[in-house]
Amino acid sequence: MPAEEKVILPDGETVINQSVGQPVSSDTAFLVEILSQEISPKMINILDVGCGNGIIALMLARRFPATRITGIDIQPGLINLALKNADCCRVNVDFLKADLRKFSCIDKFNIIVANPPYFAIGSGRMGTDDERNRSRFELDCNLPDVIDCIARNCKPDGNAYVMYPAMREAQLTEHIRKNGMMIVERWVSSGNNKREARVYKIIWEKADVATAE
């Protein structure tokens, strides 16, 4: 079992992470800040797709304690860490081991969040740590899988927020449109040129028409 270490989050809370796993990044903090500005008290049902050790879900739960939050991840070790972290943070989040390629919930979500692996297989060199590779490269799912999961589980008036580097935007836009959705806003986090990280706000195309009317 990989060694564990304590990590201090941007909001000051301490959580547990695997010492050789994917570290907490400034991109994560940026995504949470965007979500904190976008979420309203009426948005009571949030899904964190590929939640890892639960950092995004936990930070949102601390800021919005009345909100129902579910986090899913395919890696059982990370789900176990997420459950430990929920206890440490004294918040109530439902963390489930699930494959996003198959996940479908009867109760759809007002907000769906995804900070998935940035890089397609073959687009960079992998390291020796399996968990970190799975967090960075599309070994368990790819970009179309993420967007399909969002489309299956997002309410008709819901929003999704996904984080990808700029070099994936053309592919992201293509698959969003295939699902009858659209990008309505984007925020730039860090990096430069094609590798800068961006948060994309996604809604249903029909929702945009209804808003205009």
What confidence tens digit (pLDDT) does each residue in 20-47 have? 555 567 888 899 999 999 988 766 899 9
Is 169 within the bounds of a domain? yes
Q: For 175-201, write each residue's pLDDT tens digit.
A: 999 999 999 999 998 655 556 889 999
pLDDT confidence of 206, banded at 50, 70, 90? confident
Q: Mean per-residue pLDDT for 11-18?
A: 78
**Cβ-based neighbour number of residue 18 at 10 Å:** 20
Q: For 85-105, write each residue's pLDDT tens digit.
A: 999 899 999 999 999 999 999
Question: What is the full DSSP assignment across 91-158?
Answer: ---EEEE--TTT---SS-EEEEEE----B-TTSS---S-HHHHHHHB-SS--HHHHHHHHHHHEEEEE
Spatial strand order of the sheet with 154-165 comes to 94-97, 68-73, 45-49, 109-114, 154-165, 197-204, 181-190
Is 4 within the bounds of a domain? no
Which pLDDT score, from 0 to 100, does residue 131 have?
73
Is 92 within the bounds of a domain? yes
Which pLDDT score, from 0 to 100, does residue 142 have?
93
Query: What's 29's DSSP letter?
Result: H
Quick one: which of 200, 206, 176 has its CA closest to 187? 200
Is 107 within the bounds of a domain? yes
Is 8 within the bounds of a domain? no
* Residue range(s) defining the domain that contains residue 120: 25-212
Contact 73, 50 (CB under 8 A): yes
126: domain CATH number?
A: 3.40.50.150
Is 15 within the bounds of a domain? no
CA angle centred on 34, ends 14 and 111, rounded to 5°: 95
Is 188 within the bounds of a domain? yes
- Provide the number of structural domains found in the chain: 1
Distance, CA of 79 to CA of 94 (rounded, Å): 10
Is 47 within the bounds of a domain? yes
For the chain, how many residues are written?
Answer: 213
